[in-house]
Amino acid sequence: MVSEHPPRSRWASLSLIAVLLSSTPATAREGGAGAGSPTDVPLQAQGAVPHAPLPPAAEGGHLAPGTPPHGTPPARPDFQPLAVPVAVVPGLLFHGLGPLVAGDTHTAKRLFALEGTGLGLIALGGVPIALTGASRRTIAPLYAVTLAGFSVLGISALANLYAVTAPAFDPGVAPPSLPPLELEVGYQYVNDSAFDYRHFVSVGAQARFESLRLLGGVRVDPSEGNTQVRLGGAWRLLGAPERALVGTDGSALDAEAFGQFHRYPTEGFAVVSGEVALRGRLAMSRISPAMAGSFAEVSLGTSLETYTYPGAVSDGNLHEQLLFTFGYGVWLGRGGGPFRGEAMLYYDHRKDTFAGGVRSRGGGIVGAFGLRGRALLTESWGVAAEVQAGGALVGRLSLIYALGGER
């Protein structure tokens, strides 16, 4: 159910992603965001992608995130219907073809470069894995590099589709602020042939402070007693705090730590785990104006798990697991009203969730694919939904109460 790797190699893979994610540019602030906004810093001084253009700040004389220090950035391209089918076939093989047909050579070059980077990382990690026979001494960092390549490849493929369809509508924007306290209650359904549980009550909460975010959640099957409890938090390393996003593009880097307890009373065992991870989010408008309103997200970490059950405990009861997720999302809010939120299509390489993993044709176990969204429909009330498909099918629908709302 979980993969085991030497601790030293695991931490080597985590260090690798830390270096990659820490290169994500810190969130910059636009001039004229409001009285009292901090002084803006051009992203070129913060390590942003050079000349990743966005519309300049409306006022204040400062640069918007990704705006070159000299010259006028390319305008957001017009919608070209012919580019949409081209972005699917053959665009999903050659990720810049859709924008190229639309006449957006700037975006096309960026997407071809992203696709090439993804393929290069897959080769960089995958070829040594094949040559060494997946040696336990090197598999962890090589596996992390390979997964990073697949994430870049997947993100560029989805960006290719978004870049040609997004000009047909106004882009969403990151909310200027997220509520200090958010409560959630809902229903979760699990269809897993390996277990009898099906129906869960879902309860969650998160509190946001200056740079700290605390989260907790409980899933309980009232009929069978299957219970999962998850508690933890995230510390903002780069980017504006979630309580002060005004004038930023939503890019950020967080360090996360969680503990989890999952009890299976019918089967007679429980799983206890602890994990750490780095999670980075990048506004795709830094890559191209055509992708304004969307973002990419990547997370890499490691977890330690132990099983408790009646009888003697085996010596090999402590397991490690590589944690890896990537996704492509859009902001739903467009300003001028209470409706705010986001939606993201993602892949989760983890195998111990309700969705679990599924065996691939090559004999390995891959994780689950999912789609989740969250939106406030009024100042304080909203909904959240999630669907996952892996070894099991999981669906969840929740009601959200946001204390203070999003502003």
316-354 pLDDT per residue, tens: 678 888 899 999 999 997 655 667 899 999 999 998 899
Residue 340, C-beta contacts closer than 8 angstroms, at least 6 positions apart: 175, 332, 333, 375, 376, 406
Among the ranges given (67-81, 153-167, 375-389), the one the predictor scored with the smallest mean pLDDT: 67-81
Q: How confident is the model at residue 405 (pLDDT cuts 50, 70, 90)?
A: low
Is 168 exposed, middle or buried (CB count within 10 Å of its CB: 0-12, 13-18, 19+)? exposed
pLDDT at 124 over 90: yes
More confident residue, 202 or 57: 202
CB 239, CB 252: distance < 8 Å: yes
pLDDT reported for residue 362? 62
Residue 404 neighbours by CB distance under 10 Å: 14
More confident residue, 10 or 197: 197
Is 276 exposed, middle or buried (CB count within 10 Å of its CB: 0-12, 13-18, 19+)? middle
Euclidean distance between CA atoms 74 and 162, whole angstroms: 17
Query: What value does the mean pLDDT take over residues 162-167?
Result: 93
H/E segment holding residue 376: strand 368-376
Indicate the pTM of the whole model.
Answer: 0.79
Residue-wise pLDDT for 344-383, tens only, equals 999 999 988 999 888 776 667 788 999 999 998 888 899 9
Residue-wise pLDDT for 240-286, tens only, equals 998 888 888 999 999 999 999 999 999 889 999 999 999 999 999 99
| Per-residue tokens: 343 | 């939606």
CB 215, CB 254: distance < 8 Å: no
Task: Kindly list the structural domains of the chain, giving each domain's residue range(s) and its CATH number in brackets, ordered by start.
Answer: 7-168 (no CATH), 181-403 (2.40.160.40)
CB 156, CB 114: distance < 8 Å: yes
